[in-house]
Amino acid sequence: MSGEGKTYTVGRGDSITSIAKDHGYLWSTIWDHGNNAELKRKRSNPNQLVEGDELFLPPKGSKGVSKPVDATHKFKIKGEPARLKLKLESLGEARKNEDYTLAFGDIVVHGKTDDLGRIDEIIQGDVKVAKLMLNNATETYNIDVGGLDPISEITGVQHRLSNLGYECKGDRGEVGEATRKALLAFQRKEGLDESGEIDDATRARLDERHG
């Protein structure tokens, strides 16, 4: 990397933590840099970057440590853990105290949801996909980590609908038939105007329900 830093274009599935780990930064070092102030105002949440966003990666400095030549030196790589947080529900009820298996990379974690159906696990910062298995692996879900776009984007609406069980199937970035059906089902369940369109009231309720 040059002494002046460089611009990185966010790709599909990228997250602030995966970008930081891949390039050897703390995510906050990138996000809080002045050159990213405009993007920070636009997105507000570092976990909701959109494909095509541009991040400035600042130049790295070097650090010297004075030690005896014949001594053994131990260095710790600085980094920040990421967390994967999920809430499981079925027909509006929390799936509480339920066994689960979460697999990402070469790591497999076994756990149990809490009294509110929540999962909270530490994961590697560069993980982009995780697999959640329930009911002795008879239920399997692939989870895009860091792939949640802002609610202002059509893809952000589709991600949230799908996560809540209203499948948008192959639609991505445009309101197709599957997305309209998902919107109608969500609006009906929430007592909203059944338009099948992405209006402000639907966005607000969807964001609230998704958490």
How far does Cα 65 stand from its chain's mean position?
A: 37
pTM beyond 0.85, yes or no: no
Q: Is 11 helix (H, G, I), strand (E, B) or coil?
A: coil
Query: With pLDDT > 90 as the criterion, what percentage of the chain qualifies?
Result: 41
Burial of 198 (0-12, 13-18, 19+ CB in 10 A): buried
CA distances from 176 to 33, 64, 124, 164 (A): 38, 57, 35, 18
Q: Is the pLDDT of residue 138 over 80?
A: yes
pLDDT, position 43: 85
Sign of CA dihedral 192, 96, 105, 32: positive
Write the secondary structure of 116-139 as one string of H (helix), E (strand) and C (coil): CCEEEEEECCCCCEEEEEECCCCE
Percent composition of the chain: helix, strand, coil (DSSP 3-state, to 5): 25, 25, 50
pLDDT confidence bin for 46, thresholds 50/70/90: confident
Q: Is the pLDDT of residue 166 over 70?
A: yes
pLDDT in tens, 48-101: 888 899 999 998 765 555 556 565 555 454 555 678 888 888 877 899 999 999
pLDDT in tens, 85-99: 888 888 778 999 999
pLDDT, position 91: 75
Q: Is the pLDDT of residue 187 over 90?
A: yes
pLDDT in tens, 141-160: 888 776 678 888 999 899 88
pLDDT in tens, 19-37: 888 888 888 889 999 999 9
CA distances from 40 to 33, 87, 184 (A): 9, 27, 33
The CB density around residue 208, as the number of other CB atoms within 10 Å, is 9
Q: Which long-range contacts (CB under 8 A, 24 or more apart) does 176-183 make?
A: 179/154, 182/158
Q: Is 55 helix (H, G, I), strand (E, B) or coil?
A: strand
Q: Is the pLDDT of residue 171 over 70?
A: yes
Q: Is the pLDDT of residue 122 over 60?
A: yes
Pairing of strands 139-144, 129-134: antiparallel
Sign of CA dihedral 110, 114, 116, 83: negative
